Amino acid sequence: MYLALDVHYKDNYAKSVGVTFLTKDDETPQETLISTLEDIAPYQPGEFYKRELPCLLEVISKVNRNDLQAILVDGHVYVDNDGQFGLGGYLYEALHNQVPIIGVAKRAFHANKNTIIEVLRGTSNNPLHISAIGIDVAEAAQFIKEMHGNHRHPTLLKILDGITKTA
């Protein structure tokens, strides 16, 4: 089973959503998991993970981690070419290096070009920036490239985004 995660911040709380799926060909979630957390830490430049990580862990607590083949996060595993962790890396560490993490980012960082693979999907000329830990990055990029959907974003990630942003 795979788990894709996203968080959307409201005025005084965060809505965290996870969707589970079994294969890259799935076009609908097996299950949707939603958590709401209040008293979210304020955004701190360079330390976004401190705000987002508790939200992701809350959703992950609702699944059996032993069943997970990988977790997909909206963001980067590394923020630079030297291996400094981004959100995905910190999540991997928080899960005791037991569940592979695939970072799916919409924007590149100038300092992590050697830790990502750009993936073009559909007819888009705007790549997704794939990074990974606990799984080969080329394998992770191929997985994202082959996920269901004809657009830049795989179908399940579009569904996840939509659920996350609804009230």
* Domains contained in the chain, CATH given: 2-165 (3.30.2170.10)
Average pLDDT over residues 43-71: 89
Q: How far, in Å, CA of 149 to CA of 152, rounded?
A: 8
Number of Cβ within 10 Å of residue 73's Cβ equals 26
Judged against a pLDDT cut of 70, whether residue 57 lies above it is answered with: yes
Tell me the pLDDT band of 91, cut-offs 50, 70 and 90: very high
Judged against a pLDDT cut of 80, whether residue 48 lies above it is answered with: no
Answer whether 81's CB lies under 8 Å from 112's CB: yes
pLDDT of residue 167: 66
Judged against a pLDDT cut of 80, whether residue 46 lies above it is answered with: no
